[in-house]
Amino acid sequence: EAIYFIYGSLLNPKDQILVPSPAYPPFISYANFFGAKAIEYQMEEENDWQPNVDDLRANITEKSKAIVIITPNNPVGTVYSEKVLNEIKDIAGEHDLPIICDNIYEQIVYDEKTPGLKTTDVPIINFSGFSKAYLMTGWRLGYIFYDDPLDLLCEFKQSVIKLARIRLCASGPSQHAALAALRGPQDHIKEMVGKLKRRRDIIHSRLSDIPGISCQKPRGAFYIFPKVDLENRWKSDKEFVIDFLQKKKTLLVHGSGFG
């Protein structure tokens, strides 16, 4: 819903929005819904899935309205480096573009803290929720917050409020649950992340031992994005995952679904 509110307040038909590739699919589908177009900038597998800032810069046009970043990233699990974040911020400043930052996995990191994105002039539209770190999937509770020192998003913020009013409000029980989650002990998050890290290490090791499969070790979130050599046995990744489901009774998601 946060993506819906943000895109609905920002985009007009034929506008463009810059989205990392691979990316969480609604960042692309909601652009289509509003008659705009998601322009994908590449993330480099060989560089720990860090965004290619040169490709980002090359894809900016007069129709560009914002830059989307997802860190930690869904689906590849990379954590954007501080250097890359600052480069993206500088590019956004050069072109007067706001940054839309998906922070939903910011507490699920394994090897280093998630670098912060600080600004004195570039407006940043942040959003997050309780479904990941607080295991509240299904409660449908999240929030949008802004880092906008120069108040450049005044009209945009009012539009978001108007769209949100259509939804009235989150349920009372979910709001009270969120307060309890925030005010209560937080050590359960560290415990959960420790368990996820052990699982990450196991699955990365096992996948890397299989001939024809390679993958970067995720730095955050709880996904892994392996590369499979199809060896002419399957025509596409979709055909592979269907074949795997039928033969091994295990459901995978095809990588091309993420851009």
Q: Specify if 130 maps to a domain.
A: yes
Q: At what angle do helices 154-166 and 2-10 cross, to 10 degrees?
A: 130
Q: Specify if 51 maps to a domain.
A: yes
What total of structural domains would you count in the chain? 1
pLDDT of residue 118: 84
Residue 45's φ and ψ, nearest 5 degrees, are -60, -40
Kindly report, residue by residue over 146-177, the tens digit of the pLDDT: 999 999 999 999 999 999 998 888 889 999 99
Q: At CA 122, angle to CA 50 and CA 78, rounded to 5?
A: 15
Q: Which domain holds residue 74?
A: 2-182
SS3 per residue for 93-161: HHCCCCEEEECCCCCCECCCCCCCCCCCCCCEEEEEECCCCCCCCCCCCEEEEEECCCCCCHHHHHHHH
Q: Specify if 174 maps to a domain.
A: yes
Q: Specify if 256 maps to a domain.
A: no
Q: What confidence category does residue 230 fall into, taking pLDDT thresholds of 50, 70 and 90? A: confident
Average pLDDT over the chain, rounded to whole?
95
Residue 226's φ and ψ, nearest 5 degrees, are -75, 150
Q: Is the pLDDT of residue 49 over 90?
A: yes
Q: Is the pLDDT of residue 259 over 90?
A: no
Q: What is the CATH number of the domain that holds 126?
A: 3.40.640.10
Q: What confidence category does residue 80 fall into, taking pLDDT thresholds of 50, 70 and 90? A: very high
Contact (Cβ atoms closer than 8 angstroms) between residue 252 and residue 241: yes
140-148's contacts with Cβ under 8 Å and 24+ in sequence apart are 140/1, 140/170, 140/174, 141/170, 141/174, 141/175, 141/177, 141/178, 142/1, 142/2, 142/104, 143/2, 144/2, 144/5, 144/6, 147/117, 147/118, 147/119, 147/123, 148/123, 148/124
Helix (H/G/I), strand (E/B), else coil: 76:
coil
pLDDT of residue 87: 97
Q: Specify if 48 maps to a domain.
A: yes
Contact (Cβ atoms closer than 8 angstroms) between residue 111 and residue 219: yes
pTM: 0.94
CB atoms within 10 A of CB 195: 9
Measured CA to CA, the distance from residue 50 to residue 219 in angstroms comes to 11
Share of the chain above pLDDT 70, in %: 100
Nearest to 152 by CA among 113, 197, 203, 99: 99
Q: Specify if 192 maps to a domain.
A: no
Q: Is the pLDDT of residue 20 over 90?
A: yes
Q: Is the pLDDT of residue 83 over 90?
A: yes
Q: Specify if 104 maps to a domain.
A: yes
β-partners of residue 145 are: 126
Nearest to 114 by CA among 147, 86, 72: 72
pLDDT of residue 112: 81
Q: Specify if 69 maps to a domain.
A: yes
CA-to-CA dists, residue 5 to 101, 138, 149, angstroms: 14, 19, 21
Kindly report, residue by residue over 127-147, the tens digit of the pLDDT: 999 999 999 998 989 999 999
Strand 124-129 versus strand 142-147 pairing type: antiparallel
Region 167-192: what's the mean pLDDT? Answer: 94
pLDDT of residue 59: 98
Q: Is the pLDDT of residue 184 over 90?
A: yes
